[in-house]
Structure formats: structure tokens, C-alpha cells
Structure 1
Amino acid sequence: MSQPPPSRKPRNPYYTGPVSDHFDGTVFFNPEGEAPLGFRELMRWQFGGGRSAWPTQVPSPFPPAKPDDRVDGNGLRVTMVGHASLLIQVAGLNILTDPVWSPRTSPFSFAGPKRVVEPGIAFDDLPPIDIVLVTHNHYDHLDLATLKRLHAEHAPHIVTPLGNDTIIHRAIADAKISDMDWGEQISFWDGVTIDCEPCHHWSARGARDRRMALWAAFVISTPAGKIYHIGDTGFHDGINYRAAAEKHGPFRLANLPIGAYEPRWFMKAQHQNPEEAVQGMQLCNASYAAGHHFGTVQLTNEGIEEPVRALEVALKDQGVAPERFRALRAGEVFDVPTV
């Protein structure tokens, strides 16, 4: 009797490398963590109700920012573009995180989550961009249309976790990209380094590439202090926050996501809520925090203002002064105090 052919593991289209404690040869995973829930749970959420209505357009309380070309010395300035897109100006460098200027965070130009707040910096008003950090490949973080524009106008050095370089190079063949694994470091100039560190999340651009590119947080070390930047993460019992503090802390600033967290039964493992973000700020020993990943595109059930209200409650409950953790609105400029 003939035997059935052996089953084939799916091929990873983005990355080929050795097995590690967070890569099994095909997919990446969170050590001792939780994988994202599957299609059945997704449908339960999508058709389960409870989704708050968002307005179709909201003006920011701040006018569009017009950043200076550079911030030197001990200065550290963060300007909110929207969602997870931040302009970090420090040590004479201009760093953009997860830049999205497109109207939708979607594989389609005609459907998908649409921004309700205009970018807090007009694209043409950007200062010279030196570095772009892309934390993972979800469409609200890796926007190829914006990366193409940035490459044409600024030709920045793109830093991203393993596998995402393949996605970007397919669209921008001559882009300068450094791909990084957790625990790796690259050096720039004048004492500036970037470390790639774990966060508890996942990745996908479609239905067949789940967890085939890595996700990460970054630590930016500069003469003006250290910055801990997380694009997306579940709290994961604070494990990664404690590890970052032990390896790199203290931090002058932590950029932490505070939105896209409801319903908790579906989102808890992958998106922390404001209460957990405040805990994370304290665990990683950050003097100040900038809250992002809220109020720009509706991805989940909570209302547009709920993350800000929940952050205010969490800061009060945990005894953290509100000026230490600011939920940044589009166009808002945060000059981080020296410590």
C-alpha cells in the first residue's frame, strides 16, 4: 500500500535563516508567549458587536508642525505625525518611526481603515530624514507608498527587523536597509547606536504569511539619553520591559502604544492597554513617555477618546504625574525634559 507524500511546510517568502529561540525555520514566535488568535476568533470579534462609532474626520487641537532642521546638544524633541508615526529629533539626527502619510492603512486604496486626522506634519515640511525605523509589517506600520516618497525625497537609512527588508526592497530596489534580529546592534555616528529588542506581537501582510517577518522594539542610545521605542506590543507580564531596563535602562523617553486594545479577549496578547502602558513605563525605568497608536485610524472597538481617558485614570491610580506620560496628538511637539 502506497504511503501519502510527506506534508510540506509553507515556504517563508521573506526570510531564510537559522533556527533560534524565536524562529522555527519558517515562522517567528514570542518565546513563552501567545500566538495571535485564528480566523474563527477573528470572525467572532468582527460580528460580535460592541464597536464604537468614530467620526469620519477630526481636527487636531494642534496646527500642523513645521519642525526645525535639527535638534542638537541635550535636546530631545518628538513630534506626532499620527498613529505610530513619530518624528524623533535628537543628537542632530532626524528619525521617523513607522511612517504613514497614506489615507488608509490597508493593502487597498479604496477600502480598509481610513485616517480621520490629517498628518501632524505635512510631508513637504519634513526636515531631512536620516533614519526610518519600521517595527513590523502590518499596514498601519509598514506603508510602502510613504516609504517610496521618503526614499525619493530623503533616501533615509531604513532599519527594520528580519524579513521586512525583503518586502521593502521589492518596492524600492535601491533602498539602504539594515535588517536586524533581536539582540543585534548597529552604530551610526557621534555615539549613536540602535539596538533591536523583543516585543510581544506578530506580523502579516496577507492570509498566508503570518509571522514570517519579525517584529521588534528599538533602543536608540545617544549622547542626549536613551529612547525606548515600541510600535506595537502586548504587555506579556512585563517581561520585555524588565529585560529592557536590565540591559539598557534607565531611559529618558519611552514611546509606548496606548490604543487598539478592545475587546480584551481578542487583543490582550498583542496590544497593551493604557493601564499596562503605564506599568511598562515604570518597569523599563523611563523618566517620560509619549503615548501613540490611538486616535488616527479605527482598528478596534474602543472609542476614539477612550485611550486618553483611560491613560488619565491609570496615571492617577498608579501615582505617576500626568506630565510624565503624554498622549500625543497630531502636530503636538514634546520637548522632553533633561534628566
Structure 2
Amino acid sequence: MTDVTITHIGGPTALIEVGGWRILTDPTFDPPGKRYFFGWGTMSRKLVGPSILAKDLGPIDAVLVSHHHHGDNLDPSAQALLPTWGTTYTTKKAAKKLGGNTVGLAAWDTTTLEAPGKLSVTITATPCRHGPAGSDPITGPVVGFSLKWEGQEHGELWVTGDTVLYDGLRDVAKRLKVGTMLMHLGSVRFRYLSGWFRYTMDAKEGLELLDLVKPTNVIPVHYEGWSHFQQGRDEAEKVLADHKVTWLNPGETKTVQA
């Protein structure tokens, strides 16, 4: 059995430490106050800065970027640092855009992290739909990530990425045994432009997904720090109260059994 340590840095950004690897998810290190434009008239303002500055992170071996075109998942500060952080795994479109030491993956593509003295970790891209049916041409490609290594007793570590609940996630529940889950929530909406359509899961959808996946450990991320999040921790926590969910404040660390 191998323990995995997860530090919630803020927003979607987390540091995963396992088997000698230090893996960063959806890095966002801009200071608060900036505005980010997502296309088609949508925008968001950053309300809170990262709990840990990029310069204080230490070495990073790999970065998981669910998508490159939204500043709440990869902001300019983080993008400038990607060449210093080892290999970046992301969508195929993002890999073409970002260049450098970047690997592009489509849903269900796999690759492997390998180095002397470290666990071999298989990375599998998982499907996402970042909005209502038919929104893919507008919202662009997004992937989640599953991490699998030898000795996992409870199952794979799954980072859902920015997505609503749809058949692609139900397929994940059928195909993967998930032990630890970093679940993107936030119920992203742009009410004046797209009404009540959501672009990430709310807690009700998260609850349905948990009932499908049945993970051992659940850590929510991507629900605070930007103005376009419509459902914060307080409301989501009430909905998910009957499940064993670990809420990490920004800067807080948790070690769980994989």
C-alpha cells in the first residue's frame, strides 16, 4: 500500500505527492484582482490568491492541465513556469499551443511517468464535457486524469477536471476502480449570458457521481476563489454531508491510503 499526500493550493490547483513524484494539477498562481475572459462574452475575476506561492513549491516533476484556454485552470503566471516544472500532460489542442515538454492526450489515451527510484505511474486521460450538450465547440476540449500505480489497495487516483455529469463520466465509473477522487465542483454559470446552464458540476451532480464511483477518499476542489463559481463550500458541504468527503482549506494537506 502506498500513501498519497494532497495539498490544496486553491481553486483547482493541488499538489499530489506519491512514490517520489510531485505532481501539480491545473496550476493557477496569479495574484487576486485579475479578470479572465473565456470567450463569447464570458469572464471571471480572481478573488483570492494562491495559498502557496509558486516560488515556494519546490521541484515539480509533472503538471496535469485539464485545459489551457481558461485562466482559472492555467493562468499566465503558471504558463510561464511550465518549462521549469517537468512534463505537462494536457489535451492535444493544448499541447500544440503550449509546445515545449508537453504531452497531448485525448480521452482514454495513456502514458507513463517513469524514473529511477520512483514508482511507475500510468496516466490515463478521462473524458470531460465542460458545459451542456452541444457546448464542446464553444468551451473547447477538456480532460481529467487517472493515476495508477502498483500497490493501490483502494483504486486509482482520479482528477475529474472541469466537467458536468454526463455519459462520459458514467463511463469512467464503469471502466475505472477509483480510490481517491479530486472532484471539481463550483457550479460555474454565467447567468446574464447563458442563463442557468452550468459548466461544471454542482454538489447534487457530485453526489450522483459519488454514488456511481464509490471512491474511498473524496477531496473537492475548484469551488472557490473566482467570481464565476456559483456554489461554494458551505452549500456544497450540506448536500454532500452523508458522504465521507474531506474538505481541505487552501494550504491544507492530507495524506490518505491509496
**Match of residue 10, structure 2, among 58, 66, 82:** 82
User: Which piece of structure 1 moves more, 141-150 or 131-140?
Assistant: 141-150
* Moved beyond 6 Å, runs of 4+: none
CA distance in structure 2 between the aligned counterparts of 1:327 and 1:144, rounded to whole angstroms? 27
Does structure 1 conserve the Cα–Cα contact (< 8 Å) formed by 2:30 and 2:50? no
AA at the equivalent of 1:86: A
Matched, 1:229 2:156: no
CA distance in structure 2 between the aligned counterparts of 1:105 and 1:201, rounded to whole angstroms? 20
Does structure 2 conserve the Cα–Cα contact (< 8 Å) formed by 1:95 and 1:129? yes
Which consecutive residues of structure 2, in runs of 5 or more, have no partner in the other structure? Answer: 132-136
CA distance in structure 2 between the aligned counterparts of 1:258 and 1:86, rounded to whole angstroms? 14
| Matching of residues 137-286 of structure 1 within 5 Å | 137-151=69-83, 154-169=84-99, 175-189=100-114, 190-201=119-130, 210-211=138-139, 213-223=140-150, 225=152, 226-236=156-166, 239-249=167-177, 251-262=178-189, 265-268=195-198, 270-286=199-215
The DSSP-based 3-state class of the residue aligned with 1:335 is strand
CA distance in structure 1 between the aligned counterparts of 2:47 and 2:103, rounded to whole angstroms? 32
**Match of residue 50, structure 2, among 105, 119, 129:** 119
TM, length-normalised to structure 1: 0.64
Aligned residues: percent identity? Answer: 22
AA at the equivalent of 2:253: V
Does structure 2 conserve the Cα–Cα contact (< 8 Å) formed by 1:241 and 1:284? no
AA at the equivalent of 1:275: K
Select the structure that is richer in strand. 2
**Match of residue 249, structure 2, among 296, 314, 329:** 329
CA distance in structure 1 between the aligned counterparts of 2:35 and 2:7, rounded to whole angstroms? 20
Which consecutive residues of structure 1, in runs of 5 or more, have no partner in the other structure? Answer: 1-72, 170-174, 203-208
Over aligned residue pairs, what C-alpha RMSD do you find? Answer: 2.4
AA at the equivalent of 1:140: D
User: Which piece of structure 1 moves more, 176-185 or 96-105?
Assistant: 96-105
| Structure 1 residue 261 displacement after superposition | 3.7
CA distance in structure 1 between the aligned counterparts of 2:224 and 2:85, rounded to whole angstroms? 29
User: Which piece of structure 1 moves more, 124-133 or 221-230?
Assistant: 221-230
AA at the equivalent of 1:216: V
**CA, structure 1 residues 272+107, in 2 after alignment: closer, same or farther (shift >3 Å)?**
closer
CA distance in structure 1 between the aligned counterparts of 2:150 and 2:195, rounded to whole angstroms? 42
Larger gyration radius, structure 1 or structure 2: 1
CA distance in structure 1 between the aligned counterparts of 2:197 and 2:218, rounded to whole angstroms? 22
| Structure 1 residue 92 displacement after superposition | 1.3
The DSSP-based 3-state class of the residue aligned with 1:95 is strand
| Structure 1 residue 315 displacement after superposition | 2.4
The DSSP-based 3-state class of the residue aligned with 2:196 is helix
CA distance in structure 2 between the aligned counterparts of 1:133 and 1:105, rounded to whole angstroms? 23
**CA, structure 1 residues 242+106, in 2 after alignment: closer, same or farther (shift >3 Å)?**
same
Alignment partner, residue 240 of structure 2: 315
Alignment size in residue pairs:
236
| Matching of residues 1-20 of structure 1 within 5 Å | none
TM, length-normalised to structure 2: 0.82
| Structure 1 residue 224 displacement after superposition | 5.1
